[in-house]
Amino acid sequence: MPRRRAPGPPADAVAFEISFDGRPVRALPGQTIAAALWGAGVLAWRTTRGGGRPRGAFCGIGQCYDCLATVNGEPNRRACLLPARPGDAVTTQEGHGRAGLAV
């Protein structure tokens, strides 16, 4: 019997929409925001404080903080840990998200 990779969503899973910088992104129940963005071909959703270099998910388990994004107006959310919910608005986070916040 062939081995399967991790199981996908149930056959009857109903996709929903989140948005990234104003454009629609398809997400499935149980997906993180990072997974939904990856699925849509988005690999970076933050820029670094020093130099503005693009960042997205790196470790995928919430340890490195490269995946920080602004979600529903709240900066510094770890996209690799945050479940996508219908209607979530994800925007590119520039630098640390807001003045005075040390992350």
Note the pLDDT tens digit of each residue in 17-63. Answer: 999 999 999 999 999 999 999 999 999 888 888 888 888 888 888 88
In a domain, 72, yes or no: yes
| Residue 8 belongs to some domain of the structure | no
Residue 55: inside a domain, yes or no?
yes
Q: Is residue 86 part of a domain?
A: yes
Residue at 57 is within a domain: yes
Confidence (pTM): 0.80
Number of structural domains found in the chain: 1
Domain of residue 80, CATH code = 3.10.20.440
Would you say residue 46 lies in a domain? Answer: yes
Amino acid (1-letter code) at residue 27: A
Is 80 part of any domain?
Answer: yes
Give pLDDT, residue 97: 62
Sequence-distant contacts of 28-34: CB under 8 A, at least 24 apart:
30/83, 31/83, 31/84, 32/79, 32/80, 32/81, 32/82, 32/83, 32/84, 33/69, 33/71, 33/77, 33/79, 33/80, 33/82, 33/83, 33/84, 33/88, 33/90, 34/60, 34/67, 34/79, 34/80
